[in-house]
Structure formats: C-alpha cells, structure tokens
C-alpha cells in the first residue's frame, strides 16, 4: 500500500466553557480547556458531545501548541463513545496571535492535525474500537471544529 486512504467519519464542533491556567511548567505553558458540549455528524454516526471533557493544552517553547483531549460522545441512538485525540497546532506568529485574540482565521494559514482513537461498549459502534482515525481542525471564534477521518 503506497498511500493512505481515508473515509470521512464526522465533523465535530466543540463548545469551550473556559480555560484553567496551570502556568509556565518545565515543558511549556499549560492550560486546560473545559469542553461544555458540542455536536458531531457524519454518514455513520452523529450526536452530541457531553459536558465534562477537557483539552490539556501545552504551548511549547518553540511556539507549537499540543492538544491532549478526552471527550464522551453520545450518539443519536444513545450510545456512549469515548474519544481521545492528541494533536498539533502551529503557524506563523502573527497568524497564531490572531487565533489567540479570537479572530476568524482561514484554516489554510496554519497547521492543525490530530490523531484520534475511540472506545465504546456499544455493540452497534464496536467497529470504532478497531480503527485508527485522523483529523484536520480549524479554530473559528465559536470553538474548535474538526473533520475526522477513518484510515482505511
């Protein structure tokens, strides 16, 4: 297999309830983004994001923002799915400053990618336990939005 193929799983939109600053640690500046909820929709599953998730964000000394996120998705038919992802967001300093100010910035101006894993006990979605997924993100003022793809 010379190249990766993917299939779109869903688009995920998150609502952030606020940030808890941890401060300047030896690894970088840490803050925790509290996820208040959100939604996801795709051809094989859709539903809501339950409140209580978090993103343990680290801004490294080189300016790269690392993401470490844990969420619980609830499908339209009531199944619970744990979703975790790690990611990287970076770009030119002026672009990242605009994002930090909450401005709308075109996603082509910065890099925002994630590696996604799922965990569920729901038989209808057990197939998620055996896949690798990746995501592309952008950060509009309303909160992060991801397109998540199954690696085939």
Each residue of 44-76: pLDDT tens digit?
999 999 999 999 999 999 999 999 999 999 999
Cβ partners under 8 Å of residue 128, min gap 6 = 81, 118, 119, 120
Q: Which domains does the chain have, with CATH numbers?
A: 16-35+54-132 (2.40.160.20)
What number is the average pLDDT over the span 80-107? Answer: 94
Token pair listed for 87? 């990611």
* Residue 116: closest CA among 59, 40, 51, 61: 40
Each residue of 79-93: pLDDT tens digit?
999 999 999 999 999
Residues recorded for the chain = 152
Q: Assign 3-class secondary structure to 85-140.
A: EEEEEECCHHHHHHHHCCCCCCHHHCEEEEEEEEEECCHHHHHHHHCCEEEEEECC
Rounded CA separation 121/81 (Å) = 8
pTM for the complete prediction?
Answer: 0.93
Beta strands 65-75 and 145-151 are unpaired
């Amino acid at each position: 297999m010379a190249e990766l193929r993917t299939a779109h799983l869903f688009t995920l939109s998150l609502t952030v309830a606020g940030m808890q600053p941890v401060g300047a640690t030896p690894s970088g500046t840490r803050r925790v983004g509290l996820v208040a909820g959100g939604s996801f929709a795709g051809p094989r599953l859709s539903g809501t994001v339950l409140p209580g998730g978090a993103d343990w964000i680290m801004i490294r000394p080189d300016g790269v923002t690392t993401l470490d996120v844990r969420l619980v998705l609830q499908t339209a038919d009531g199944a619970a799915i744990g979703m975790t992802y790690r990611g990287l967001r970076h770009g030119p300093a002026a672009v990242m400053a605009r994002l930090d100010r909450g401005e709308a910035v075109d996603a082509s101006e910065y890099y925002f990618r994630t590696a996604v894993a799922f965990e569920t006990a729901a038989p209808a979605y057990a197939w998620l336990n055996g896949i690798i997924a990746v995501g592309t993100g952008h950060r509009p003022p309303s909160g992060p939005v991801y397109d998540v793809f199954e690696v085939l």
